[in-house]
């Protein structure tokens, strides 16, 4: 039996956003590896083994998955959203690069998923309709000075910004600092959206402006979208506005 | 009968990457609107009408779709990849904003899809594993000076870059100019990937470096990924290398 290693994006949460390819790869797996709450989303057969682990244990989880695959098992590492975006695919390739030649020889497939960013954007309109960037606000894995340099560069150049990991219990001040940094660069009326637990029963969308954006609206399940000066707001009566970024842009 | 307007991302091409939600919305539609080759991908029932149009006619197509929905029809506008990324969702909201109050009152749903960028990244490893941007290289809808300012800002700040619309028959020099602009900013060995027609039978992936990147490898179906200085290459014997961008970064 030849082992294999798949890294599978489960999408934002609702199974209606899980692709047939992801379902087929999950069904083919003998062993499922991942953050325990993501594994809990899946219906497994009795012959499939689940290896749940803690949120922070990404490196250990990646090594465990590679070792199981080298031992001949059919392993699926699961990740929320798209596995390649601030998620498990990078951790697996870090482990592969550091591992032995038999790890590099593994049959590896990355299965893309609906990212949190695009699921959130779809609920809000088309805020990512023109040039945009995705930026992790966490300073656990990079210096805060790198985060601020990127926020400044992206906003000054006119990119819409999708902020991943905007806030957690241990990182409470960074999002407020990011808004404070952006306020002198972007117009006060620049649209800002907080999209929390998108496609899940507890989904919540808050639309505001950069001037009024309140970091308290974000938690660990929130994606924050910050418009560019070109992003438009379409007000509607009785319901929240649409945001979109036009395809056409004049000189900035 | 109440009309509705859905904007549906079909994913990169292979139906294994089409979500159940997208399939359900397409099945519910009375009228399908889109670029003719995208509509040709779909299996329609005899009672469903297809309204195919030319690639450039995005504004007209958006207005047609909104008008059909206001008339009480159940309309699905289809787009390749994710409908919100350099695709039809922005065009539809532009039309909605310019239209009358009955257009704003429409029941609109945007259905996210697997974007070309994430499908390409999955084939290549995890090149978008840390901060990245998506940038359209087309100067049809924005001045070339805006494109170059964004390329400079993104590469200088350490973002990986996904280039949409890198090259067409009418736009033959821009990609070479982009590489020339980036060469003094990024290391010569920075990985560059050309991903063409990903998930389709004619899929082609070319991995090279910024120093050696040849614009001739790109056509209208190509997504170009340009690493940051942090992006790593894992060589393998007998097959193409993996590229990934680590989660952890030191000061740049």
Sign of the dihedral through C-alpha A91, A96, A100, A102: positive
Which residue of chain A is at minimal alpha-carbon distance from B115?
A114
Would you place residue B162 in the very low, low, confident or very high pLDDT band (cuts 50, 70, 90)? Answer: very high
The rounded distance, in Å, linking the Cα atoms of A136 and B248 is: 11
Strands A108-111 and A132-136: unpaired
DSSP code for B27? H
Q: Please report, for residues A133, A163, A178, the alpha-carbon distance to residue B153 in angstroms, rounded to integers and kept in the order given.
A: 11, 18, 18
B17 touching A (Cβ < 8 Å) = yes
Cβ proximity of A212 and A94 under 8 Å: no
Element (H, E) at B38: helix B36-40
3-state secondary structure of B153: helix
Degrees, nearest 5: CA angle A134-A138-A140: 135
Contacts of B139 (CB under 8 A, 6+ apart): B147, B171, B174
The rounded distance, in Å, linking the Cα atoms of A145 and B252 is: 9
Dihedrals φ, ψ of A27, to 5°?
-65, -30
Cβ proximity of A134 and B133 under 8 Å: yes
Which residue of chain B is at minimal alpha-carbon distance from A122?
B110
Mean pLDDT for chain A overall = 95
The rounded distance, in Å, linking the Cα atoms of A200 and B235 is: 40
- Structure confidence at residue B102 (pLDDT): 92
Note the pTM of the prediction, 2 decimals.
Answer: 0.97
The rounded distance, in Å, linking the Cα atoms of B8 and B20 is: 12
What's the CA dihedral at A170, A173, A179, A182 to 10 degrees?
-100
- Structure confidence at residue B2 (pLDDT): 72
The beta-carbon neighbor of B234 closest among A91, A93, A123 is: A93
Q: Give me the mean pLDDT over the A101-113 stretch.
A: 95
Mean pLDDT for chain B overall = 95
Q: Give me the mean pLDDT over the A45-67 stretch.
A: 91
Would you place residue B248 in the very low, low, confident or very high pLDDT band (cuts 50, 70, 90)? Answer: confident
User: B110 and A90: CB-CB below 8 Å?
Assistant: no
User: A247 and B108: CB-CB below 8 Å?
Assistant: no
Report A:97-126 residues touching B (Cβ under 8 A).
97, 104-105, 108, 110-115, 118-119, 121-123, 125-126
A20 touching B (Cβ < 8 Å) = yes
Q: Give me the mean pLDDT over the B170-198 stretch.
A: 97
Q: Is the pLDDT of residue B156 over 60?
A: yes
Strand partners, B128: none
Would you place residue A251 in the very low, low, confident or very high pLDDT band (cuts 50, 70, 90)? Answer: low
Would you place residue A1 in the very low, low, confident or very high pLDDT band (cuts 50, 70, 90)? Answer: low
Per-residue pLDDT of B89-107, as tens digits, reads 999 999 999 998 999 999 9
User: A19 and B24: CB-CB below 8 Å?
Assistant: no
User: How many CA within 13 A on the CB side of residue A224?
Assistant: 28
Tokens linked to A104: 């590099």
Q: Give me the mean pLDDT over the A198-223 stretch.
A: 97
Per-residue pLDDT of A154-187, as tens digits, reads 999 999 999 999 999 999 999 999 999 999 999 9
- Structure confidence at residue A92 (pLDDT): 97
Strand partners, A4: A74
Q: How far is B55 from chain A (nearest CA, A)?
A: 14
- Structure confidence at residue A250 (pLDDT): 74
Strand partners, B133: A133, B161
> Which of chain B's residues have a Cβ under 8 Å away from the Cβ of A91?
247
- Structure confidence at residue A248 (pLDDT): 86
Q: How far is A217 from chain B (nearest CA, A)?
A: 23
Burial of A177 (0-12, 13-18, 19+ CB in 10 A): middle
Token look-up 């991943």 returns: A164
DSSP result, A153-195: HHHHTT-EEEEES---SS--SHHHHHHHHHTTTS-TT-EEEEE
Which residue of chain A is at minimal alpha-carbon distance from B12?
A112
Would you place residue A3 in the very low, low, confident or very high pLDDT band (cuts 50, 70, 90)? Answer: confident
Per-residue pLDDT of B32-54, as tens digits, reads 999 998 998 898 999 999 999 88
Q: Give me the mean pLDDT over the A130-136 stretch.
A: 98
The rounded distance, in Å, linking the Cα atoms of B173 and A150 is: 28
Q: How far is A31 from chain B (nearest CA, A)?
A: 21
Would you place residue A113 in the very low, low, confident or very high pLDDT band (cuts 50, 70, 90)? Answer: very high
Tokens linked to B188: 């010569």
Burial of A5 (0-12, 13-18, 19+ CB in 10 A): buried
> Which of chain A's residues have a Cβ under 8 Å away from the Cβ of B245?
90
Per-residue pLDDT of B106-125, as tens digits, reads 999 999 999 999 999 999 99
Higher pLDDT, B69 or A2: B69
Lowest-confidence segment of A213-217, A235-239, B51-55, B73-77 by average pLDDT: B51-55
User: A19 and B21: CB-CB below 8 Å?
Assistant: no
User: A97 and B234: CB-CB below 8 Å?
Assistant: yes
Contacts of B106 (CB under 8 A, 6+ apart): B3, B4, B5, B66, B69, B70, B96
B246 touching A (Cβ < 8 Å) = yes
The rounded distance, in Å, linking the Cα atoms of B80 and B115 is: 8
> Which of chain A's residues have a Cβ under 8 Å away from the Cβ of B248?
141-142
Q: Is the pLDDT of residue B1 over 70?
A: no
Tokens linked to B54: 């030319």
From B68, B142, B4, select the one nearest A251 (Cα to Cα). B142
> Which of chain B's residues have a Cβ under 8 Å away from the Cβ of A245?
90
- Structure confidence at residue B46 (pLDDT): 95
Dihedrals φ, ψ of A199, to 5°?
75, -5
Q: Is the pLDDT of residue B236 over 70?
A: yes
User: What does chain B come to in residues?
Assistant: 252
Q: Give me the mean pLDDT over the A210-234 stretch.
A: 97
A84 touching B (Cβ < 8 Å) = yes
């Amino acid at each position: 039996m030849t082992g294999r290693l798949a890294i599978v994006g489960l999408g934002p949460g609702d199974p209606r956003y899980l692709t047939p390819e992801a379902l087929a790869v999950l069904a083919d797996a003998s062993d499922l590896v991942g953050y325990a709450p993501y594994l809990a989303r899946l219906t497994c057969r009795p012959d499939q083994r689940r290896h749940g682990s803690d949120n922070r244990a990404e490196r250990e989880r990646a090594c465990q998955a590679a070792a199981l695959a080298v031992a001949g098992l059919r392993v699926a590492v699961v990740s929320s959203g798209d596995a390649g975006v601030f998620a498990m695919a990078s951790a697996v390739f870090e482990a592969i690069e550091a591992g032995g030649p038999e790890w590099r020889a593994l049959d590896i497939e990355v299965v893309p998923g609906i990212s949190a960013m695009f699921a959130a954007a779809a609920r809000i309109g088309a805020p990512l309709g023109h040039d945009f960037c995705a930026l992790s606000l966490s300073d656990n894995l990079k210096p805060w000075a790198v985060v601020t340099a990127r926020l400044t560069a992206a906003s000054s150049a006119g990119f819409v910004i999708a902020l991943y990991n905007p806030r957690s219990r241990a990182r409470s001040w960074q999002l407020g600092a990011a808004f404070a940094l952006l306020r002198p660069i972007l117009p006060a009326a620049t649209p800002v959206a907080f999209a929390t637990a998108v496609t899940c029963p507890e989904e919540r969308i808050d639309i505001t402006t950069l001037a009024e954006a309140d970091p308290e609206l974000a938690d660990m399940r929130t994606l924050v979208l910050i418009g560019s000066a070109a992003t438009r707001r379409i007000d509607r009566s009785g319901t929240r506005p649409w945001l979109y970024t036009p395809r056409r842009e004049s000189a900035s």
